Structure 1
Amino acid sequence: MEKYDYVIVGAGLFGATFAYEAKKRGKKCLVIDRRNHLGGNIYCENVEGINVHKYGAHIFHTSSKYIWDYVNQFVEFNRYTNSPVANYKGEIYNLPFNMNTFNKLWGVIRPEEAKAKIEEQKKAANITKPSNLEEQAISLVGTDIYEKLVKGYTEKQWGRKATELPAFIINRLPVRFTYDNNYFNDSYQGIPIGGYNVIIDKMLEGIDTELETDYFEEKERLDNLADKIVFTGMIDEYYDYRFGNLEYRSLKFEHEIVDSPNYQGNAVVNYTDSETPYTRIIEHKHFEFGTQEKTVITKEYPKEWGKGDEPYYPVNDEKNTALYKKYKQLADQEENVIFGGRLATYKYYDMHHIISQSLKTVAKELGSRPLVSPAENMNTI
């Protein structure tokens, strides 16, 4: 029986980065995954010559030159800039909220006019200490933006009334008083040319992998194969839901090939009214400026997570945070299991955060020099 230094459970970005770095240091790894493909949620499927983001849109962005250079060693990135639009009952608005949005809403032209309009609505709402998401949003952007562009989308996304959601979820609501439709403020942004599979395939080149392999069904065999396990799955599942299950929001995707070269004119269109059952439509070819004769669209339907569903967004309210801490106490006592990634740490991370977290884990585990500058400390992200 072949022995490994690490069996890595999950072939997503955390696991692939760990495996790549461990191999560079002379370690032997086996990477397994329940699914029939590598790459986790960043996996792309080629349909009609288009790289379809199978598990929702992924746009790479970071302000860290180190992380940007790191991913660019595997693939060249294009110049894609995330500029989603919102469709509210047929009215189109630019996101994030900026002067183009305010001009469409109120006809204002100058930033002072937009600020005055928001202040007027905030004052009329008379909210002094926001106690829920609705009050927090109105106190940040006023009632018009909240009603048209926040309320319906957020309630669909979380499956709860905005008045029942904690205020902190929307603390970072982006509001700009410039005519700038770039959703992210980061220095670097783009889509890997050829899709995300190129990154994962290069990371895992020369590393043993097993697909359609459930860790829990073959735990004894897999545990005996390696000195240590790197676990990137759900931490509550690892402990057999000993304290109960953590809550997640899941997604259902409807992919459709459209016999047209251009369906909606933008990669991402959010549907912010409450009547439309899906939250957004992704048109994948626009991520790579495709000119194919057909196009592929994906409708995203948020849903409550249940066992057997794919968990996407942790519900980081007080109840779930307290529950996660119980599981983390168990995890901290493990000597031969390393927990990493969004599911194992019950926190939503962007891709650059995951790479940073994985590099830090490698540095800590293998005693090498820090691979990320102090400014990248995950506690500050």
Structure 2
Amino acid sequence: MHYLVVGSGLFGATFAHEAAKKGNHVTVIEKRNHIAGNIYTKEIDGINVHMYGAHIFHTSMKNIWEYINQFAEFNNYINSPIANYNGEIYNLPFNMNTFNKLWGVKTPEQAQQKIEEQKNELDLPKNPNNLEEQALSLAGTDIYEKLIKGYTEKQWGRSAKDLPSFIIRRLPFRFTYDNNYFNDRYQGIPEGGYTKIIEKMLDSDLIDVQLNTDFFDKKEEYLNSNYDKIIFTGMIDQFFNYELGELEYRSLKFETEEIDVDNYQGNAVVNYTDASTPYTRVIEHKHFEIGKGDKGKTVITHEYPQNWNRDKEPYYPINNQKNKSLYKKYVELAEKKAKNVIFGGRLGQYRYYNMDQTIMAALQLSKKEL
């Protein structure tokens, strides 16, 4: 078989690697001037900089952890972000350190009482209708106002009252003095950066990688070529020239700069949760890999959420009912009009995937296809 894989991110690279292992020929085309998609890392001042936002690998799936460890050695980085609310610093996720800073409470019972008091003062429905109601029912007024509302509304570009409740269920919430953001058993950052993982995945005589190559510049030519199958990891609505309408996404803008200090903020991730700060977070990349980087130098990235349009990169699908319904129509269209095309990844399947879920989905496709 000869496969065309559109996109060299984690999904496309995993499939290409598995296909080549089975003796298939794979052509990987990538519109950017580098491989690895949004997990691309670039070395600056001896620091592996996450050029498209912070990526911390975490999973509870042992098989996925073992799979990714074929391609890199992972350090023991634990994601422990902090929140800056108008100069007040709080630990994330919401835990006993957060509650102690907010209210001076010292025990889980005291913290739960405080939250219950605040919830009881509110007239909330039993089944939350939106993110604001969900957050207030989980965390009470203080946590919502200081640590959720401003950040979330910046992230999604709309009022918390207009966002679905399920978004907030992804946030860990615990009554222990534990700043580990994730509950997953396995967690870390690959030493040497993520780009090296993709390089190893694509290192095969049976894989041909072509950079600066946009599928849409020669779409008809690719579709009518001798490829047995096309694995498409771009936007499914763009593939069909948006003929049923645009799916909605959120975009991001990254401003990365080198600074002549050894340590800028003391933590890899600082979230800015007030509404007045235009960016959502600042990443200091050297803290992902302790001991890396030139002395007296650091690299930081400000992350600004943006409305998406066709000139911007899509980062987050907006999985509300309207978009889910439209995506389903595109899937039906694909089954009729693009039978030799398989849509995969966050954009192809219009789904919020973590990295481990992306690998799992690519491996499932590989097993089925190969």
TM-score > 0.5 by shorter chain: yes
- Alignment of 1:347 onto 2:351: yes
TM superposition shift of 1:225: 4.1
Rounded to whole Å, the distance in 2 between the matches of 1:196 and 1:331 is 32
What is the aligned partner in structure 2 of residue 226 from structure 1? 227
User: What pairs with 1:159-308 in structure 2 (closer than 5 Å)?
Assistant: 159-206=157-204, 207-223=207-223, 224-289=225-290, 290-293=292-295, 294-308=297-311
Deviates more, 1:100-109 or 1:170-179: 170-179
The percentage of aligned residue pairs carrying the same residue is 66
Contact 2:47 2:293 in 1 (8 A): no
TM superposition shift of 1:331: 2.2
Instruction: For 1:20, give the aligned amino acid.
Output: H
Secondary structure of 2:283's partner? strand
User: What pairs with 1:66-215 in structure 2 (closer than 5 Å)?
Assistant: 66-129=63-126, 130-206=128-204, 207-215=207-215
Instruction: For 1:336, give the aligned amino acid.
Output: N
Where in structure 1 are there 5+ consecutive unaligned residues?
367-381
Rounded to whole Å, the distance in 1 between the matches of 2:131 and 2:335 is 33
Rounded to whole Å, the distance in 1 between the matches of 2:199 and 2:167 is 35
Instruction: For 1:19, give the aligned amino acid.
Output: A
Deviates more, 1:59-68 or 1:125-134: 125-134
Secondary structure of 2:305's partner? strand
What is the aligned partner in structure 2 of residue 310 from structure 1? 313
Rounded to whole Å, the distance in 1 between the matches of 2:310 and 2:339 is 28
User: What pairs with 1:18-97 in structure 2 (closer than 5 Å)?
Assistant: 18-97=15-94
Secondary structure of 2:251's partner? strand
- How many pairs are equivalent? 363
Rounded to whole Å, the distance in 1 between the matches of 2:115 and 2:162 is 24
Rounded to whole Å, the distance in 2 between the matches of 1:136 and 1:11 is 37
Rounded to whole Å, the distance in 1 between the matches of 2:137 and 2:325 is 28
Contact 1:44 1:196 in 2 (8 A): yes
Rounded to whole Å, the distance in 1 between the matches of 2:351 and 2:27 is 25
What is the aligned partner in structure 2 of residue 357 from structure 1? 361
Q: C-alpha offsets along residues 61-116 of structure 1, whole Å, 9 cap, x if unaligned? A: 00111111101111100000000000001100000000000000000000000001
Contact 1:60 1:351 in 2 (8 A): yes
User: What pairs with 1:6-17 in structure 2 (closer than 5 Å)?
Assistant: 6-17=3-14
Contact 2:5 2:231 in 1 (8 A): yes
TM superposition shift of 1:133: 1.1
What is the aligned partner in structure 2 of residue 374 from structure 1? none
Q: C-alpha offsets along residues 248-280 of structure 1, whole Å, 9 cap, x if unaligned? A: 000000001010010000000000000000000
Instruction: For 1:295, give the aligned amino acid.
Output: T
Instruction: For 1:299, give the aligned amino acid.
Output: H
Contact 1:7 1:225 in 2 (8 A): no
Rounded to whole Å, the distance in 1 between the matches of 2:354 and 2:85 is 27
Secondary structure of 2:118's partner? helix
Secondary structure of 1:226's partner? coil
Secondary structure of 1:216's partner? helix
Instruction: For 1:234, give the aligned amino acid.
Output: M
Rounded to whole Å, the distance in 2 between the matches of 1:228 and 1:152 is 45
Secondary structure of 1:218's partner? helix
- TM-score if structure 2 supplies the norm length? 0.96
Secondary structure of 2:101's partner? helix
Secondary structure of 2:231's partner? strand
Secondary structure of 1:17's partner? helix
Contact 1:8 1:31 in 2 (8 A): yes
TM superposition shift of 1:291: 4.7
Structure 1 runs of 4+ aligned residues shifted over 3 Å read: none
Secondary structure of 1:171's partner? helix
- TM-score if structure 1 supplies the norm length? 0.94
Q: CA RMSD in A?
A: 1.0
Contact 1:255 1:296 in 2 (8 A): yes
Rounded to whole Å, the distance in 2 between the matches of 1:131 and 1:203 is 44
Q: C-alpha offsets along residues 190-238 of structure 1, whole Å, 9 cap, x if unaligned? A: 0000000111000000220111111011123323041110000000000
Rounded to whole Å, the distance in 1 between the matches of 2:56 and 2:170 is 19
